Structure 1
């Protein structure tokens, strides 16, 4: 007899869905997904079946599609199918065939779910899949977040077979004489997951015949440990990440005091895309000269005197430097900006010098190249103008505008386009008591 009650209990215990929900099942035709379809039918749930034909195995792909279509007809449920040019997609996006297939199927499943009013998408992953995922993540070094295996529920994805092992699924399929199709690629060791399944796990099971149960318990411990860690990181984030001048600042002194330093900083910076290797290099460089930067695909973190300064990478060629109140100069690419002060109102007309009301400055200042969306109030005007429009009006070539040094106040406002125009909000007036002079060299 199929384990209907255990199936329902697992769904209820993990709050996967309620009886009135409508579920879209991802069915390949293999043992796992076919068993899932039969369990849904016998449990009386409202469901439909979706099948992806990736056109990777010639006649075998067509056979799988025909089988799943017949399965849906026999179960009297809606059937959805699509065909992908998987290798073309992989080549166009410069990713592996496996990653291409993953992207394509999940995007399509979500389209079908939304357009046909399904509440969730059910995937037929089981305990062995969770174990293989942990072993893969261990070899790739994904940190503790990679050790919790596969969650029973995440967003609109549910995995109602995680209470079963592969061996139990095989036994149920054989006992009940349930038809299925075999994917020949599952026997290929060209894929990392298959190597784990076919080459590694059999040896581990020689050491521990109850490997699946042991990993299930380990995964539970890892998940609980991750919850504790994330709680600590969340509290750390509140204390350590301080928003200033449209950037996030991390006190270097507080970073140095952390224990365990590498783990906590890695978890803190992981949402911004920083790898563990980059975090290690960053921590080793904390005592280096200010201005040293480290990058993820989306963010930059720069070592300043007292802080690490975290910014999104808005423009590919963005450059930046910082000016502190006691600095006399700063370099940006081929430019050098000198800063000095005088204690009396003074101003002269010059594109190479800016005369600024010093009391309006908020340090550290930033010198950077321009970004899309930048705007300022040109000296002598009372309205804002986009830098892109200003450059066009001034007939500045594209190659030149990318190198214009822009002086930014601590509040994010533009003070001066170096060598071009000052912002009216920071001009010297009769009420000015102290003047900051910036020279472009």
Structure 2
């Protein structure tokens, strides 16, 4: 096993990785910005290094500062968490060039999946279903308009280099297409340094279902079930659950087989996620993208399969066999994750601030992965995620009951928060019945 691990991230995911590292006897090293010095992940690490001021570009995305911290602390490996540098192929190469172990997929797999158009084409060649769309970037507005006319409206206009629900727009006709193309392209150039735009079919009523894959040290790729991620605002997830209430055993078999083919197509190693769109009426599903990292919502898979995905990541990176039998994976029960964000529960606008009250719910089947405690401050410099409230039960009904109780028991004051939204969602008939899609939040508002 790896002996020392630098966690190149912050907040709840850094704290969660550190927890597993320390359980395994691995020396855990945190890096942090100046404003994060007092957060739990810093104090809980065995060692911590300040890598710069609040701006992510000068701290958590500062590859040179992070590599310098690894050298100065004698770290053997780097775990990037999610976001920041986690899907940066050049950083992965730099880590390995520096003689360190990269806890993630190979850099060429990150490259292959980082461009949505290239990823679509690779998946189509591997026999993974893809939605109708362009096989090359739309070179200009006229080409984009022509492509949309051929595909048929409505269409999704997407940044080819984007991710995390950013850099996307929907066009219902040519006039909207002209507006969205310019908007997405300028956003993509500003955020990703790449203005390439993809046009593909937009499905107004669709579910977002993803499959957790793990590329093992021996070269095999295994699928650890699916997660339903259809409760979203601004194309970003708020709730995830496993298994999906929309997926039958027959459909699940097709989903998992397609996800394994996707991983095998790029010789995938370590943890990754194959995201798909599911038409609940026809049972058709289409490849959306592959996230070449650990997902925010990985805890629901952990609870259903009884494994620690971070431990499995470390084992793969160290060339070790998994703790489980890949040929005897058996899911049990149901798990639901609610993302507790510092945002108002109506318009979902960020609302950072100092935490005056923070009392987490407890009890059977309740897990909280948090990045803060009372007395900390949620600053405006980073994502608004404060904690993940994860519940599990023998079935979905029990998990829903535990979610209602846990939301009611969670005491949080100071920053704005979305606990009231979750209380409303858990009483929503669509959600209770499991018959919801990606439009559920807009229908609630």
TM exceeds 0.5?
no
Greater CA radius of gyration, 1 or 2? 1
Task: State the TM bucket, normalised to the shorter chain.
Answer: under 0.3
Tell me: higher relative CO, structure 1 or 2? Use CA pairs within 8 A at least 6 residues apart: 2
- TM-score of the superposed pair, with normalisation by structure 2: 0.22
* Higher relative helix content: 1
